[in-house]
Amino acid sequence: MFEKMAKEKQNRIHGGVILGLVVLALISAAAARGENRPLSWNATLFGGGILGHNGDAGRFIREYERYYQTWAEAYQTSKSGSLDWPGIGMEFGGEIGYALSSRLKAGLAIERLSKKMEDSLALGSGTTHFMDMKMSALSISALGSYSVPLTQAVSIAFRAGLGVLFGSWDRVLRRQFPNTGDEQVITGEYSASGMTGQASFGLTWDLTPRIALQLEGGYRLAPLSNWSGKNTYTMGPQTEETRGDLNYLELQGDERNPAVYHPSLAVGDPHIVQGLVTYQACKAGFSGFRLKAGFVVRFGL
């Protein structure tokens, strides 16, 4: 068994070496071809952050935290921990571009946007709320840019583009009741799609004729309002599943806090929820200001 595993490991190493040599050969061949031809093509790898509260995703976390803080104060009990939806999400991806002229470039970018949290809060009664939530999206955009040189090595560029957005949203809410030993779990899996647009200013610094450092800041418009999916409710041995469009609900508080609303994310017909105050189709996306950095590699074909 161990001999077989060692052999498989050796094969993987050999395969990795061969793959690396092939990649190096392709890069060398592309570089050689580009020596006598214009460096019209370029590839960019980048990463950065995007600011925003993500609509009802951030609102759900803030209202859930506020509700239990008010609940603890009203019932004069303790509350430890907190739920905090981060204000900054991650963005990374790549772009392939073609220079139409010395200043004008067209390109196609594929980007991954994501944000997540894992927090918990506990009440004096012993109930603990664990919340895991993650939103992500895949963006595919056609881009155009117009650059203006500042020096021989530095230029600025205005970039804009339109594309499509495919969103994914997963959450788990787990409530533990130590006094009874019970546990309640709510799992949500949702998806949505829509259009996205972006506009930004960038700064490019040529390190060599082929390699450049790029910094860029701007705004992305990426709303998603057609979320749908399923919720799974588990309490002990019993499990129930609902499917449909995703709605953001506010449920009436208890008798001590009639003006405080408990938030909920429900799928299907919201009218079946008892104590409903307001509801709306859930709106959550990745619109916000963004800042990213990356490396540009130019080559000819």
Please write the tens of the pLDDT for every residue from 287-300. 999 999 999 999 98
The residue segments making up the domain with residue 290 are 42-299
- My answer on whether 104 and 177 are in the same domain is yes
Average pLDDT over residues 55-68: 94
Average pLDDT over residues 3-24: 42
Identify residue 196 by its one-letter amino acid code.
T
pTM of this structure? 0.81
Integer Cα distance of 93 and 286 in angstroms: 15
Average pLDDT, the chain: 87
Between CA 172 and CA 192, with CA 274 as vertex, the angle to 5 degrees is 45
- My answer on whether 19 and 134 are in the same domain is no
The pLDDT, as a whole number, for residue 21 is: 41
- My answer on whether 142 and 105 are in the same domain is yes
- My answer on whether 7 and 107 are in the same domain is no
Contacts of 269 by beta carbon, 8 Å cutoff, 6+ apart: 244
Structure tokens at 43: 């590839």
- Residue 199 pLDDT greater than 70, yes or no: yes
Tally: H helices and E strands in the chain: 2, 13
**Interval 132-187: pLDDT, tens:** 999 999 999 999 999 999 999 999 999 999 999 999 999 999 999 988 889 999 99
With CA atoms as reference, report the closest residue to 198 among 287, 99, 95. 287
Q: Which helix (H) or strand (E) holds 115?
A: strand 104-123
CATH number assigned to the domain comprising residue 140:
2.40.160
- My answer on whether 5 and 87 are in the same domain is no
Structure tokens at 246: 């995703």
- Residue 33 pLDDT greater than 60, yes or no: no
pLDDT category at 301 given cuts 50, 70, 90 is low
Number of domains in the chain: 2
pLDDT category at 258 given cuts 50, 70, 90 is confident
Phi/psi for 158 (5° steps) reads -100, 130
